[in-house]
Amino acid sequence: MFSNDQIGCCVVASIAHTLMNVTAHTGEVVVPTDQEVIEFYSAISGYVPGDEATDNGAAITDGLAHWQSVGISGHKILGWAQIDVTNHTQVMLGNYIFGGVDIGFNVPQFAMEEVADMSDWTMMQADTNIIGGHSVPVMAHGNKGCACITWAKIQRMSWDFFSAYCDEGYCIITEDWLRQADGLTPSGFDLDALKADLLALTAGSQIVTPDHPGNPPTAGPVA
């Protein structure tokens, strides 16, 4: 859970799950502690543990910027860029090439009912009232939809659900996605290829790297 069942730290929980995923595929899995997640969340949002009034969520871009500059569990990223989430091919390529896509979406009430029922997120006809924002890492995809990690479980969603509620997504370059044995990603890309593919995938977007800090895309708070 990374404490996301108690506080609105989903931005950092998504980062922690992403770090777990890429390191599990390329070396020894790294699992951040709840305390590291909370400290990260406090640094980017002003959250004071125990003070509910300060628990207001965080922007995904603030989380990515902190991951790049400070890191978590001793691990930093090299860069990141926003992708077009209305283009499902970009989302699938981002997942395949970079090991996942960090997305933000609006959560309809019925999605919580589907979580309780342990069913997929679909476009079921129910209460579509938006109850808040959420950040998750998408780590799998197929013809009918994609899958993410949230609240300590694999959650699948249809492409219709994704299109209706997802409004931001980011690809990340991290050396943790390179296998320790040969310096290649599980799908066979090296670091230079990753950089070139990120530029191609996000043509016209701002690429945020240590050498090119730029102006990161803005995002509203997500819980």
pLDDT, tens digit, 9 for 90 and up, residues 84-142 = 999 999 999 999 999 999 999 999 999 998 988 899 999 877 778 999 999 999 999 99
Q: How many residues does the chain have?
A: 223
Could you tell me the domains of the chain?
10-208 (3.90.70.10)
- The total of other beta-carbon atoms located within 10 Å of residue 55's CB is 19
pLDDT, tens digit, 9 for 90 and up, residues 4-49 = 999 999 999 999 999 999 999 999 999 999 999 999 999 999 999 9
75 vs 206: which has the higher pLDDT: 75
Helix (H), strand (E) at residue 176:
none
pLDDT at 202: 80
Tokens 């283009």 belong to 87
pLDDT at 1: 94
Give the pTM: 0.91
What does the alpha-carbon distance between residue 139 and residue 82 come to, in Å, rounded to a whole number? 16
Overall average pLDDT of the 64-68 stretch: 97
φ, ψ at 26 (rounded to 5°)? -125, -5
Helix (H), strand (E) at residue 111:
helix 109-116
pLDDT at 209: 56
